[in-house]
Amino acid sequence: MIDKTYDVGIYCRLSNDDERDGESVSIENQKLLLQNYVRQRGWNEVDVYIDDGYSGTNFNRPGVKRLIEDAKAKRINLILVKDLSRFGRNYIEFGQYTDYLFPSIGCRFIALNNGIDTMSDNGSTDVMCFLNLFNEFYSRDTSKKVKAVKKACAENGKFMGTYPAYGYKRDPEDKHHLVIDEDTAPVVRRIFAMRASGMGFHAIAVILNEEGIQSPGTLYYQRKGQNDPRRVNHQWADATVKNLIRNEVYIGNMVQGKTGTMSYKSRKLVSKPEDEWIRVEGTHEAIISQEVWDTVVSIDQKRVRKKKTSDGYKSIFTGLIYCADCGFKMRNHTEKFTYKDGSPGRYSSFICGNYARSGKSACTVHTIYENVLEQLVLADIREKAQFAEHDPQRLAQQIIRLKEKEARTRLSSYEQELKTAVARISELERLMQNLYEDKCAGTIPQTVFQTLMKKYESERAEKAGAVPELERKVRSHLENRQDADHWTEVIRRYTEITELDETILFELVERIEVGDTKKVNGLRVCDIKVYYRYVGNIDDALNQERRDQYEKAV
């Protein structure tokens, strides 16, 4: 007897994570198989619900949602799937539908290949929970394998992202390799150049927007020929510029694995700690040089904030000048005046920030006019550039000797600190173990145990937190040769400069220390020390080089 009482909803799903074994699991073959089954029984096919490319580990899928809504609305009273795994691979959510929802609304459920029929009394539903459990185990195992493959590819420097960073595109011959996008790479170079001059993220974004340069997201959808579905203003923003500038992809490095899912059941992305990131150097052609990157990183570390004055003036030295005595950053101070002809003028100077904030009880004024400072720094840069041009290898050797001499004492101190900290951590862990054993044995009361344990744990955490920084300092003192060679290569470009700008300063200078003003023979003088990036203050090395040249001449 043919049963014509059922209004059937056919459900088909295929996920990128599922095993695609030829035609047997394709959407079209699932659909044909199930439609034939419906026709043979004379049932009424109401609709076909399809989710193509969706994982079965959760039920947040458009096809499933529409299917459930129609079942609740009594539009269908039978759900037909090829097998249980097509409907879903989440054991708990699956059971909520088949054990509670479908029976409560009078909806029959059939998984054809598994022989599951909720209206049958042959005991087929008794094994359904085990099949669902196995399907979930399969998803978890597949997820682990996919993640392992992706991690291995990332560790080999292959690009595993959805779309390349702004300024790059996929290599037509290898989708896991990046090549420079000549249309957008000039914008990237300009952004880095603006930041290297000390310009802030917001100021850069404003300039890009004013010039009508499309933001990365807007350009992405335009190239795909699609409308941008995001509810955004389609403009460059501070965060967009900041993320671009801090991306190592622009110096040829691939940094991946910064985010991941909480589990194979959830698609929500969470940030991973930096020590879990996968970083591979030299995977593709760089858009910017290492020097520009180092300059931008240096500016970020200094947290340079250049505030415009009422007439728009900004000092090129802001963020680089420090008091030699108290170590505070020096503040830019301007004094306006009027020339005899009525035209406006100004004096720009720097004073100790500690003095400006708290007065002479904190520090002295340490004042210096900006035009004087500029002349002194310009002369210092040219002098060092000329030495580097004359004999770079010899100068590098002098710098290395000086740095190693200075570093030996500090390195020994850091190594001793590191050794002491590691030993103390081991001792604290032993004390905590003994304390716990005494507490279990009843030797000490609970209150004493809690007090001592808290004290030991606090000290242990403090020591453990200091160890990575000490290790970094030890490593940094072993890199003098590379830094000296790099510095001589950079400084040699500036033998003939006639004026300073922010880009030159941020590329060359780490900090400038200004000493207090003193009177010598009726003149006001102060000591200025320029600390260069990579090598610091090298006046002693240059003095030694002068002495060597003098002795050689004599």
pLDDT in tens, 465-510: 888 877 776 666 655 666 777 778 788 888 888 888 887 888 888 8
113 vs 136: CA distance, rounded Å: 18
Tell me, what's the pLDDT at 547? 56
Give the C-alpha separation, 302 to 365, whole Å.
22
Going by pLDDT thresholds of 50, 70 and 90, the confidence category of residue 20 is: very low
Q: Is the pLDDT of residue 550 over 50?
A: no
Predicted local distance difference test score (pLDDT) of residue 303: 63
Over residues 279-299, mean pLDDT:
88
Q: Annotate 331-367 with DSSP letters as a single string.
A: EEEEEEEE-TTS-EEEEEEEEEHHHHHH-TTT-----
Whether residue 11 contacts residue 79, with contact meaning beta carbons closer than 8 Å, is answered with yes
| Host H or E run for residue 255 | strand 254-256
Do strands 254-256 and 278-280 pair parallel, antiparallel, or not at all (unpaired)? antiparallel
Query: In the chain, what percentage of residues exceed pLDDT 90?
Result: 20
Q: Is the pTM of this model over 0.75?
A: no
User: Would you place residue 413 in the very low, low, confident or very high pLDDT band (cuts 50, 70, 90)?
Assistant: confident
pLDDT, mean over the chain: 81
Q: What gap in Å lies between CA 255 and CA 293, rounded to an integer?
A: 15
Residue with tokens 């290790």: 471
Instruction: Please tell me whether residue 52 adopts helix, strand or coil conformation.
Output: strand
CA 528 centroid distance within chain: 37
Provide the pLDDT confidence category of residue 451 given band limits of 50, 70 and 90: confident
* Inter-residue contact 17 to 140 (CB < 8 Å): no
CATH entry, 158-302, from 3.20.10.10, 3.90.1750.20, 3.40.50.300, 3.40.50.720: 3.90.1750.20
Q: Which superfamily is assigned to 7-139 in CATH?
A: Resolvase, N-terminal catalytic domain (3.40.50.1390)
Q: How many CB atoms within 10 Å of residue 214?
A: 19
Whether 78 contacts 49, CB under 8 Å: no
Q: How confident is the model at residue 3 (pLDDT cuts 50, 70, 90)?
A: low
pLDDT: which is higher, 311 or 169:
169
User: What is residue 30's predicted lDDT score, i.e. its pLDDT?
Assistant: 87
The pLDDT value recorded for residue 24 is 46
Query: CA 43, CA 54: separation in Å to the nearest integer?
Result: 28
Mean pLDDT, residues 356-378 taken together: 89
Under the banding of pLDDT at 50, 70 and 90, the label for residue 304 is low
Region 191-207: mean pLDDT is 88
Kind of pairing, strands 108-111 and 116-117?
antiparallel
Q: Is 70 exceeded by the pLDDT of residue 416?
A: yes
Q: How confident is the model at residue 23 (pLDDT cuts 50, 70, 90)?
A: very low
Task: Tell me the domain boundaries of the chain.
Answer: 7-139, 158-302, 398-483
Which range in 66-80, 128-142, 410-424 is most confidently predicted, on average pLDDT? Answer: 66-80
The mean per-residue pLDDT over the stretch 68-93 comes to 87
pLDDT of residue 205: 92
Residue 256 phi, psi dihedral angles, 5° rounding: -130, 175
Q: How many angstroms separate the first and last alpha carbons of the chain?
A: 121
The alpha carbon of residue 17 and the mean position of all alpha carbons in its chain are separated, in whole angstroms, by 28
Structure confidence by residue, pLDDT tens digits, 342-352: 777 778 889 99
Q: What's the whole-number mean pLDDT along residues 432-461? A: 83
Please give the backbone phi and psi of residue 29, each rounded to the nearest 5 degrees, phi first: -70, -35
Q: What pLDDT, on the 0 to 100 scale, is given for residue 428?
A: 85
Which residues are within 8 A (CB) of 333 and not within 5 positions of it... i.e. 6 or more apart? 348, 349, 350, 351, 356, 367
Closest CA to 158 of 255, 290, 38: 255
**Higher pLDDT among residues 384 and 134, named by residue:** 384
